[in-house]
Amino acid sequence: MTGSELPVGEDDLSALVDGRLTPERAATVEAYLAARPEEAARIQADRAIRAALRERLAPKAGEPVPARLRAAAVIAERRRIRRGRLRQALAACLVLLAGGTGGWFARDLSERFWGIPARPAPLPQEALAAHRIYTVEVVHPVEVKADQGAHLAQWLSKRLGRRLAIPDLEGVGFRLIGGRLLPAGRSDVAAQLMYGAQDGSRLTLYVRCGEAGRWDLRVTKQGEFASATWATGGYGYALSGALDPDRLMMVARAALSEMTGGG
Amino acid sequence: MDEIAALIEPHIPALRRYAWALLRDHEAADDLVQDCLERAVGRWRLRRRDGDLKAWLFAIQHNLFIDGLRRKRRELLRAEVEDLSGIPEPGIEQESRAAMRDILACLDALPADQRAVILLVGVEDLSYEEAARVLGVPIGTVMSRLSRGREKLRRYLESGAQPMLRRVK
């Protein structure tokens, strides 16, 4: 009976009202009140008020929750807003990127007149190897799924050391599935974004850091696969899939156009 | 994501009740809950894994409520010059006497910090420790606000005394 040794205090009385005392302590406090009718009446009143307040407010918690306050609705709405914001930010980012090379559609000119070397790169081979490995995956095609769009972009951007744009290719029939991180070369990293079409065909956008070259959009074929690649600012990009080169080039242009804010 | 929804969902009715008890306006209360849920989802990764989810949600909502109160007070301060004459003196209107019988009207008359403690502990069943965490005050402060608040409620109800209305509409 250690509880009975402590003198009864205001906190005991509050805890009695709230029913938070151990049975032993409650007995001690009740015994204390038995000798003090005035204080006992006060506690009785507090209990009654507490009960009345609970009763008065109970219907509010019993009401059906409005649709806008369902947790799932709040999460979905937040995701939608963030995706929109992300796209805007990435589009702005891409404008800068493309602007640095004088715009995409000037690339042939730049190659011809300014002599930007059209050097062969191992990028298509590397991107296609990654493409072949992961597009056949059914259970784990990606590490992070598209529904975590903001997280995916943040994570890959952090590991790549640059803000990675995630182009929206739904307009040309490819929906983002998600992405993963891959090793590149000896010490570099690459990101792979995977897209899927309605007919099950898949497309990957491979982004590699540590790219020494710089070149404009071109297509490399390898068997049934093709890879549209470009490189700028130390990063190499490869859009790969089992598509014919013309279609792939069309998708690549659509992607770039979409990423640069449409145009 | 579905897991987050499943964890948050059971607390929403209590968050709505707390918001309504504080604001006494259904729309404004649900707006507060929505802000709270949005913030909770946005900061999901920042919460302490071992922490009490209920207390965490109530803390977010309470802070948003306090922010709103500060904003309103500033607005009221600006509006005061022109509007004060329009506010009736307490006790002048006949119906206000009947309103005093309502326990919520008495609750409204308490200072916001005492009201919050009485609701969190007495209605939402938070422990004294959890209430202290939600309000960001020591537990001793929770205990003293609780007994002071209850004392006032008792006086209002027993004597029918006119509590000074403090509610910020």
pLDDT per position as a tens digit, A50-83:
999 999 999 999 999 998 898 888 888 888 877 7
**Preferred mutation among A44, A57, A82 to probe B, highest tally of B CBs within 10 A:** A57
Chain A partners within 8 Å of B21 (Cβ): 57, 60
Burial profile B59-70: b = 16 or more Cβ within 10 angstroms, e = fewer = bbbbebbbebee
Option in A53, A71, A75 nearest B107 (CB): A53
**How confident is the model at residue B75, as a pLDDT?**
66
A172 close to A251: Cβ distance less than 8 angstroms: yes
Q: Does B24 touch chain A (CB under 8 A)?
A: no
Under DSSP, the state recorded for A121 is -
Closest A-chain CA to B19: A60
Who's near A78: CB < 8 A, 6+ residues apart? B38, B41, B42
Q: Look at residues B110, B120, B119 and name the one whose alpha carbon lies nearest to residue B148.
A: B110
Option in A62, A69, A78 nearest B33 (CB): A69
Option in B4, B143, B158 nearest A71 (CB): B4
Chain A partners within 8 Å of B33 (Cβ): 69
* Residue of higher predicted confidence among A196 and A109: A196
To the nearest whole number, what is the mean pLDDT of chain B?
A: 81
Contact B150 A147 (CB under 8 A): no
One domain for residues A81 and A163: yes
Strand partners, A171: none
Residue B166, in any domain of the structure: no
Structure tokens at B166: 């403090």
One domain for residues A51 and A100: no
To the nearest whole number, what is the mean pLDDT of chain A?
A: 80
Domain end, chosen from A62, A88, A105, is at A62
Contact B123 A53 (CB under 8 A): yes
Contact B12 A13 (CB under 8 A): no
For residue B169, is pLDDT > 70? no
Structure tokens at A121: 């790169």
One domain for residues A143 and A246: yes
Chain B partners within 8 Å of A20 (Cβ): 127-128
Look-up of token digits 């913030």: B39
Q: How many domains does chain B have?
A: 1
We report the CATH number of the domain holding residue B153 as: 1.20.140.160
Overall size of chain B counted in residues:
169
Q: Does B33 touch chain A (CB under 8 A)?
A: yes
**How far is the C-alpha of B15 from the C-alpha of B8, rounded, in Å?**
10
Residue B19, in any domain of the structure: yes
**How confident is the model at residue A183, as a pLDDT?**
82
Contact A69 B154 (CB under 8 A): no
Contact A74 B153 (CB under 8 A): no
Q: Does B162 touch chain A (CB under 8 A)?
A: no
One domain for residues A167 and A245: yes
One domain for residues A38 and A87: no
Chain B partners within 8 Å of A60 (Cβ): 13, 16-17, 20-21
Residue B75, in any domain of the structure: yes
One domain for residues A87 and A200: yes
One domain for residues A148 and A90: yes
For residue A263, is pLDDT > 60? no
Chain A partners within 8 Å of B9 (Cβ): 70-72
Structure tokens at A198: 């309605």
CA angle A40, A45, A48 (to 5 degrees): 125
Please, which pLDDT band fits residue A117 given cuts at 50, 70 and 90? very low
Domain end, chosen from A47, A62, A77, is at A62
Quick check: ipTM above 0.85? no
Residue B165, in any domain of the structure: no
For residue A160, is pLDDT > 50? yes
We report the CATH number of the domain holding residue A122 as: 3.30.200.100
Domain end, chosen from A29, A62, A95, is at A62
Option in B21, B41, B146 nearest A14 (CB): B146
Please, which pLDDT band fits residue A3 given cuts at 50, 70 and 90? very low
Q: Does B5 touch chain A (CB under 8 A)?
A: yes
One domain for residues A167 and A130: yes
> Which residue type, as a one-letter code, is found at position A137?
E
Percent of chain A with pLDDT over 90: 31
Strands A202-209 and A144-145, bridge-based pairing: unpaired
Residue B94, in any domain of the structure: yes
Domain that holds residue A15: 2-62
For residue A126, is pLDDT > 60? yes
A124 close to A219: Cβ distance less than 8 angstroms: no
Residue B6, in any domain of the structure: yes
Strand partners, A222: A225
Please, which pLDDT band fits residue A94 given cuts at 50, 70 and 90? low
Structure tokens at A60: 């509010």
Q: In degrees rounded to 5, what are phi and psi of residue A257?
A: -65, -45
Beta-carbon contacts below 8 Å between A and B: 97
Domain that holds residue B79: 2-159
Contact B2 A72 (CB under 8 A): yes
Q: Does B28 touch chain A (CB under 8 A)?
A: no
One domain for residues A38 and A81: no
Q: Does B128 touch chain A (CB under 8 A)?
A: yes
One domain for residues A57 and A74: no
